[in-house]
């Protein structure tokens, strides 16, 4: 299992498994007003041809502290979900998880990565901009609870 952050032997990354769902759902409920269901996460785990769900576990204990879900359709990548447990934020885990995804798909020849984010989500927007994502446009009323527009953000993956 690869270490998530170079030189830090606490956090490791591996593919999400069905046994992770209780921990993943707990983080999801703490992170979003409109959380994904167990069935949605299960579908991502089973859709192995397109979907790439990964978790970050903390040692010792192997507790799930973060996850990411992205779709890879030919050379186009869509980040569909990312969250870090509130107790583990601002430690560099979200950034390292995004960098892991970018490096993985870049190594496989992907050309473009995109995502939607609530316009008020300063932490996520700042993280994506730090990684080189740019705002490409907006989607009106993309979110509910509360209603809000999304930024569409994209990153060209230079080979």
Ligand X SMILES: CC(C)(COP(=O)(O)OP(=O)(O)OC[C@H]1O[C@@H](n2cnc3c(N)ncnc32)[C@H](O)[C@@H]1OP(=O)(O)O)[C@@H](O)C(=O)NCCC(=O)NCCS
Query: Which residues are near ligand X by CB under 6 A?
Result: 31, 82-84, 89-95, 117, 121-124, 126-127, 130
- Name the minimum Å distance from CB 60 to ligand X: 20
Task: State yes or no: is 63 an active-site residue.
Answer: no
Rounded-to-integer distance, Cα 41 and Cα 67, Å = 11
Q: Which C-beta is closer to ligand X: that of 111 or that of 116?
A: 116
Q: Is 11 a known active-site residue? A: no
- In whole angstroms, give the CA distance from residue 127 to residue 15: 23
Q: How far is the CB of 127 from ligand X (least distance, A)?
A: 3
Closer residue to ligand X, CB minimum distance, 1 or 123: 123
Least distance between ligand X and beta carbon 5 (Å):
9
Three-class secondary structure assignment of 32-52: CCCCCCHHHHHHHHHCCCCEE
Distance between CA atoms of 126 and 106, rounded to whole angstroms?
Answer: 21
Catalytic residue among 95, 116, 142, 148: 116
Catalytically annotated residues? 116, 128
């Amino acid at each position: 299992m690869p270490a998530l952050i170079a030189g830090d032997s606490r956090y490791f990354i591996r593919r999400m498994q069905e046994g992770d769902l209780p921990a993943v759902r707990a983080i999801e409920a703490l992170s979003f007003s409109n959380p994904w269901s167990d069935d949605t996460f299960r579908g991502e785990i089973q859709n192995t041809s397109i979907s790439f769900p990964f978790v970050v576990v903390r040692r010792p204990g192997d507790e799930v502290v973060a996850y990411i879900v992205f779709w890879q359709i030919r050379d186009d990548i869509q980040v569909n979900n990312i969250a870090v447990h509130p107790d583990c934020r601002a430690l560099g885990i979200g950034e390292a998880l995004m960098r892991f995804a970018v490096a993985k798909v870049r190594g496989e020849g992907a050309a473009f990565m995109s995502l939607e984010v609530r316009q008020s989500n300063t932490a996520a927007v700042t993280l994506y901009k730090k990684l080189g994502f740019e705002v490409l446009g907006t989607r009106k009323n993309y979110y509910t609870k509360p209603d809000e527009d999304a930024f569409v953000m994209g990153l060209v993956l230079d080979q």
